[in-house]
Structure 1
């Protein structure tokens, strides 16, 4: 599978979810350093949510 097609399957849905479902369409800060920090916070929040969801699913499977 070409790399461009693989990227569409792995990376693009994450950005689409953040933009559409989380309502993050633009950055609230200015400057590269602060935008990187803001983006890292958004991604961290997304990862924590995914981790929590997987943890809840594992708990339900065990019970």
Structure 2
């Protein structure tokens, strides 16, 4: 069974965004980043939506 949700640490890890978890927390505040709150504190990122978000970011021109 494949994982459907990633924790902030997993999304920040080398298999996904390869960044600091603080960066993922900042991204989670953006309207276009796929994140959801589970309970009061836990933030999870849906794998399928993260893949689509990464694709859109890769297709967008760099400023």
Larger RCO (CA within 8 A; separation ≥ 6): 2
Q: TM-score, normalization: structure 1?
A: 0.32
Taking structure 2 as the reference length, the TM-score comes to 0.32
Greater helix percent: which structure?
A: 1
